[in-house]
């Protein structure tokens, strides 16, 4: 899957001294030349599969659920009639230089590109050749910058982190505050999108459904955002491609010679296409590669469609038992209501607690409010269960400080307690 040219370029880069690579960045405000679209998603997957034997099993379970969904026209139809899934996005801007600290307007422009591409509202959709025009799909999936953080506080959906790191790789350090990056928000409620100076000639990489929550999401090179400096990869299509992976799409050539991308309506093709091929580019006895698909390696200006089969595969994640179904009901994209001027009285006791935490709620609403327990990083603690009757079982929690978040969807009350 990797072009020989790229392997050569990498080995040359590897031979260059660290000092000269540093100089290149210090003396130039532009991004070092990208040798050709390169996405590390499959390399990251191989490394994760090697490190975690249980990942293959989780991915196989997701694949089985996807097959069931694909084989059932009723489930596909019910997803369509259920309306658009709008995914709350948190954008982690991890920057060292002013150029890497992309503007809020540029982040919004990236979200806008995602929304157009995933809805087939992109202005270049008319370029799809007639052989494929019947297959170009509106995926029914949309994106919105988060309007509340995991603790229920108002947010603009952008987390800015100043770092000492000059250049990042696909090793997920950018997703880790202890390594100079920014920690993921709960992946059950948000798409995490990291924007940084990704090195190694990479434009981006993503994690497929089934991987670890702490690294779930998408990483893109900061200059690949719309109007960035990474031409011809600066129309925001790197994010479209990587979010495609995050929604379980494989590269269009199936990452093998005439490989299988697990989608039936995309033609089998020999390998990645680069640049801007003219149609038809015939390989593997097909009628022409679908090189204008977002999951190929073509220039941003030369990719402008998802297929119906790809759309179905992505939507399976939001069907019954789907791996990302919880995002469809996330409140992350909805602004929290202003707190009432008089807070209802809430008491937690005993505090510290060992087995059971009692919660006194306003009497008239005790049954309708949700009570959830989070750690101080904002991850929901599934071990702590509210019984709907003013008690939370906490015996399964590790010792430490936690936050109880009590909400009726309009008001949110947060209080800390200690588990002993």
Residues making contact with Zn ion (CB under 5 A): 39, 41
Residue whose CB is less far from Zn ion, 85 or 303: 303
Which of residues 186 and 254 has its CB atom nearest to Zn ion in the complex? 254
Q: State which residue has the least CB distance to Zn ion.
A: 39
Q: Min. distance of Cβ 224 from Zn ion in angstroms?
A: 13
Minimum Å gap between C-beta 255 and Zn ion is: 9
Q: How far is the CB of 73 from Zn ion (least distance, A)?
A: 29
Q: What is the 3-state secondary structure (H, E, C) of the chain?
A: CCCHHHHHHHHHHHHCCHHHHHHHHHHCCCCCCCCCCCECHHHHHHHHHHHCHHHHHHHHHHHHHHHHHHCCHHHHHHHHHCCCEEEEEEEEEEECCCCCCCCHHHHHHHHHHHHHHHCCCCCCHHHCCHHHHCCECCCCEEEEECCECCCCCECCCEEEEECCCCCECCCCHHHCHHHCCCCCCCCCCCEEEEEECECCCCCEEECCCCCCHHHCCEEEEHHHCCCCCCCCCCCCHHHHHHHHHHCCCCCCCCCCCCCCCCCCCCCCCCCCCCCCCCCCCCCCCCCCCCCCECCCCCCHHHCCECEHHHHHHHHHHHCCCCCCHHHHHCCCCCCCCCCCCCCCCCEEECCCECCEEEEECCHHHCCCCEEEEECCCCCECCCCEECCCCEEECCCCCCEEEEEEEECCCCEEEEEEEEC
Shortest distance in whole angstroms from residue 129 CB to Zn ion: 22
Nearer to Zn ion, 39 or 327 (CB): 39
Q: At what angle do helices 237-246 and 104-118 cross, to 10 degrees?
A: 60
Nearer to Zn ion, 41 or 207 (CB): 41
* Closer by beta carbon to Zn ion, 149 or else 296: 296
| Cβ proximity to Zn ion, 218 vs 413, nearer residue | 218
For residue 345, indicate whether it is catalytic: no
Phi/psi of residue 160, nearest 5 degrees:
-100, 130
Q: How far is the CB of 191 from Zn ion (least distance, A)?
A: 16
By CB neighbour count within 10 A (0-12 exposed, 13-18 middle, 19+ buried), where does 83 fall?
exposed
In the complex, the smallest distance separating the C-beta of residue 318 from Zn ion, rounded to whole angstroms, is 21
Q: Which of 63, 100, 242, 364 is catalytic?
A: 242
Which residues share a beta bridge with 400? 419
For Zn ion, which is the closer residue by CB, 39 or 184? 39
Which residue, chain included where needed, has tokens 């990083």?
A: 377
Catalytic residues: 242
């Amino acid at each position: 899957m990797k072009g020989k040219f790229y392997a050569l370029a990498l080995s040359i880069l590897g031979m260059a001294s660290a000092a000269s690579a540093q100089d290149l960045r210090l003396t130039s405000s532009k991004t070092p030349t990208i040798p050709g679209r390169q996405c590390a998603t499959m390399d990251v997957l191989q490394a994760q599969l090697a490190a975690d034997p249980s990942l293959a099993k989780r991915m196989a379970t997701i694949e089985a659920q996807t097959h069931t969904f694909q084989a059932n026209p009723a489930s596909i139809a019910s997803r369509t009639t259920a309306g658009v899934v709008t995914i709350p996005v948190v954008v982690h801007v991890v920057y060292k230089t002013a150029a890497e600290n992309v503007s809020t307007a540029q982040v919004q422009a990236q979200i806008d590109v995602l929304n157009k591409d995933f809805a087939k509202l992109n202005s270049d959709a008319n370029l799809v050749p007639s052989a494929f025009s019947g297959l170009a799909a509106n995926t029914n999936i949309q994106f919105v910058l988060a309007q509340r953080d995991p603790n229920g506080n108002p947010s603009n959906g952008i987390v800015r982190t100043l770092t000492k790191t000059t250049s990042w790789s696909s090793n997920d350090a950018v997703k880790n505050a202890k390594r100079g990056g920014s920690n993921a928000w709960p992946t059950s409620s948000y798409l995490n999108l990291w924007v940084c100076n990704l090195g190694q000639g990479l434009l981006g990489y993503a994690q497929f459904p089934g991987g670890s929550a702490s690294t779930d999401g998408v990483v893109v090179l900061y200059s690949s955002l719309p109007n960035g400096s990474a031409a011809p990869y600066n129309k925001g299509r790197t994010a479209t491609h990587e979010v495609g992976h995050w929604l379980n799409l494989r590269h269009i050539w199936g990452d093998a010679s005439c490989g299988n991308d697990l989608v039936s309506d995309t033609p089998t093709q020999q390998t990645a296409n680069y640049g801007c091929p003219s149609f038809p580019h015939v390989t593997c006895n097909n009628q022409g590669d679908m090189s204008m698909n977002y999951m190929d390696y073509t220039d941003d200006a030369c990719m402008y469609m998802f297929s119906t089969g790809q759309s179905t595969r992505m939507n399976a994640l939001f069907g019954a038992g789907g791996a990302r179904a919880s995002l469809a009901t996330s409140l992350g994209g909805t602004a929290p209501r202003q707190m009432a001027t008089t807070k209802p009285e809430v008491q937690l006791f005993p505090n510290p607690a060992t087995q059971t935490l009692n919660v006194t709620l306003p009497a008239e609403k005790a049954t309708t409010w949700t009570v959830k327990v989070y750690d101080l990083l904002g991850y929901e603690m599934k071990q702590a269960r509210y019984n709907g009757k003013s008690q939370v079982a906490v015996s399964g929690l590790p010792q430490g400080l936690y936050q109880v978040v009590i909400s009726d969807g309009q008001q949110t009350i947060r209080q800390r307690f200690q588990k002993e």
